[in-house]
Structure 1
Amino acid sequence: MKKTPLFSAALLHPRYWLVWFGLSALWLLVQLPYPLLARLGASLGRGARPFLKRRERIARRNIALCFPGLSEAEIDKLVVNNFVSLGMALLETGMAWFWPDKRVRRWFDVQGLHHLTTAQHDRRGVMVVGVHFMSLELGGRVMGLCQPMMATYRPHNNPLLEWVQTRGRMRSNKAMIDRRNLREMVRVLKHGEAVWFAPDQDYGPCGSTFAPFFAVKDAATTNGTFVLSRLSQAAMLTITMIRKTDGSGYKLIIGPEMTDYPRSDEQAAAAWMNQVIEREILRAPEQYLWVHRRFKTRPTGQGSLYV
């Protein structure tokens, strides 16, 4: 479990100067008024598209696989809007790391906070299911302002970015847990903590079950949710943050406790969780992280879907 890290003089080494420059530029940018940031983020996303052709192909393929009924024009529109969200995600990361609490609070409203407080009654642990929307970094900051919790994450390979990332995330939350540390997750859940994790990505064949995801019949789905649920007996609910389309900020949506999770059937649990994730994605599909190769792991004998 990782808490707010101490600064090390080693992070001032010349090898990190370019990263320091980028972080400084990001800090300066997010001092702009939010309406300007929204326009700038959209421009950054559109401008980056010609330089991210591989990511565009992945996004287009994911969308076509999940929504086979869409026309080429509809897919193209969704891809364009997805890159707008991608550009905004960079600025939202700076907002999450550098904005003071007062400014963050001004730009979001919350729906369903009572669901979380009810689930935590009598210090019961809560598994908070999230999805990888582009505004995820800012969403973590907002969640912590509503109710400080813990979150699973993958440590960054760059020591400076790891320090900045963890420090930024800890501004309103309790601790970060390496997503591979199942034992620690179970321990804190049993001690009544709320732990955020996102089971919507392809983490490889180890510890995964193939289950339907939108129109894709066999999507590698992590069994981590199933194992955590059985070992901790924690409550389970969803928290999703989406960017409002009218430019007025963000909405954090906390769902009611999900009491019908199939805790005794791994296959059924994977399919059930994918349906929950689908429902959350459909709140704002253009804001989802489609540039991730969600279907890179295939059942034995099946070829890649990204050829």
Structure 2
Amino acid sequence: MSSPQFTRALLAPRHWPSWIGAGIWFLMAQLPFRVQWWLAKLLCPLLYLNKKRIHMARTNLRLCFPDKTEAEREQLLKENLFSTAMAVFETGIAWFWPKWRLRRLFTITGVEHVEQAKQEGQGALLLSLHFTTLDIGSAMLGQYVNYDGMYSPHSNPVYDYLQKVRREAYCKGGTAISRDNLRAIVNQLRKARMIWYAPDRDLGPKASIFVPFFGVPTATVTATAQFARMGRAKIIPFTQYRRADGSGYDVVIHPAFDNYPTGDDYADARRVNEFMETEILKHPEQYFWAQPRFKTRPEGEEKVY
């Protein structure tokens, strides 16, 4: 779990466009928050050009909100595209703003739930969701909670290096752990560490069982309960929301799950999905709908994308 190392190979000419892009991203992040909000409003129509992602988002919204009219779902999609565009700026804020500046943007409640776990000598999975505010929420959490985080390695080596370095800077001593490094995750939990964890991705049939998510049979990982059991850890969810008026964010750390895991993989996975459904419904426009959440289908069912 060593920290990411900068190597001379990252300075190769083929990586120069990535470094230039990172530099532009850094400069944009220095703009006033309201200016970045306005720029996201201007840029969000361009996201319609990514037809593959738009198709995924429309399909997911249709499956999850069948009671809404098509016009209502299109309005939700429009709002979601702003959230997605704003996520680019929010990630820049999370990575490149000093902590004192970020602190002015949010309030946080529920830190006592993490403190209680620490007093009891237990680690915890800090259960998160793939909201568009994922990175900025994690950076805000890191100002009050010391944790390690799971991450998925990126194919672009410059971006992969930057995401590890900047995410490890969210809190002192934090480490970015590859989600495939199961042993490291369990070891950290047994050392009473907090681990950021977002299980709402389709990782295929080998890692999942089918559990309803907004009424749709969804490939849902069973690893949440397994990590909790092997790491002797609690499940402490947290969420973050962007205020509609652009005044900032609210971070909420929720109470730990009681009686979890139960030993019933289906019941444990369903509990996680139910929590996510409840939180998504509070601000559905802020969830990352443009992901292939329903890529894996039960045997005999047609693909949806």
Indicate whether the TM-score tops 0.5: yes
Alpha-carbon shift at residue 264 of structure 1 (Å): 1.0
CA drift at 1:283 = 2.4
Among 61, 72, 92, which residue is 2:59 paired with?
Answer: 61
Q: Is the partner of 1:70 in helix, strand or coil?
A: coil
Q: Is contact 1:123–1:193 with CA below 8 Å preserved after alignment?
A: no
Runs of 4+ in 1 over 4 A off after TM superposition: none
For residues 261 and 161 of structure 2, what CA distance do their matches in structure 1 show? 38
Gap change, CA 1:2 and 1:43, over 3 Å in 2: farther
The equivalent residue for 2:131 is 133
Superposed, 1:178-257 pairs within 5 Å as 178-216=178-216, 218-257=217-256
The C-alpha deviation readout for 1:148-186, integer Å capped at 9, x for no partner, is 201111111221111111111011231011111222111
1:67/1:215 contact within 8 Å kept: no
Question: How many angstroms apart in 1 are the aligned matches of 2:53 and 2:2?
Answer: 31
Q: Which residue of 1 aligns with 2:273?
A: 274
TM-score by length of 2: 0.96
SS in 2 for 1:39: helix
- Name the CA distance, whole Å, in 2 between partners of 1:153 and 1:145: 19
Q: Distance in 2 between matches of 1:2 and 1:108?
A: 31
Question: Secondary structure of 2:132's match?
Answer: coil
1:216-242 deviation line (CA, Å, top 9, x unaligned):
1x1000011121122122111111111
* TM-score of the two chains, using structure 1 as the length reference: 0.95
The corresponding residue for 1:7 is 6
Tell me how far 1:2 sits from its aligned partner.
4.4
Cα offset, 1:215, TM superposition: 2.1
Q: CA deviation at 1:7?
A: 2.3
1:79 paired residue number: 77
Aligned-residue CA RMSD (Å): 1.2
2:170, 2:20 → 1: CA distance? 25
Alignment of 1:143-154 (within 5 A): 143-154=141-152
Cα distance in 2 for residues equivalent to 1:14 and 1:78? 42
Q: Does the alignment pair 1:103 with 2:111?
A: no
- 1:94 aligns to what? 92
1:46 corresponds to 2:49: no
* Contact 1:240–1:252 (Cα < 8 Å) also in 2: yes
Rate the CA distance shift 1:144–1:2 in 2: closer, same or farther, 3 A.
farther
Cα deviation for residue 212 of structure 1 reads 0.5
1:192: Cα distance to partner? 0.4
1:229 maps to amino acid: A
Counterpart code for 1:99: W
Which amino acid in structure 2 is aligned with residue 277 of structure 1?
A: M
Q: Provide closer, same or farther for how the CA distance between residues 2 and 250 of structure 1 changes in structure 2, counting only shifts above 3 A.
A: farther
Identical pairs, percent? 39
Deviations 1:253-299 (A, max 9, x none): 10011113342101111111110111121221101010001000011
Which residues in structure 2 correspond to 1:3-42 (within 5 Å)?
3=3, 5-42=4-41
- Which amino acid in the other structure matches residue 156 of structure 2? N
**Structure 1: stretches of 5+ with no match in the other structure:** none
SS of 1:120's equivalent? helix
Letter in 1 for 2:255: P
Q: Distance in 2 between matches of 1:109 and 1:247?
A: 14
Matched, 1:123 2:127: no
Aligned residue pairs, count: 303
**Following the alignment from structure 1 to structure 2, what is the Cα–Cα distance between the partners of residues 27 and 198?**
26
Contact 2:94/2:136 (CA < 8 Å) preserved in 1? yes
Q: What is the identity, as a one-letter code, of the residue corresponding to 1:220?
A: A
Give 1:258's aligned residue: 257
Query: How far apart, in 1, do the equivalents of 2:133 and 2:103 lie?
Result: 15
Indicate conservation of the 8 Å contact 2:228/2:261, yes or no: no
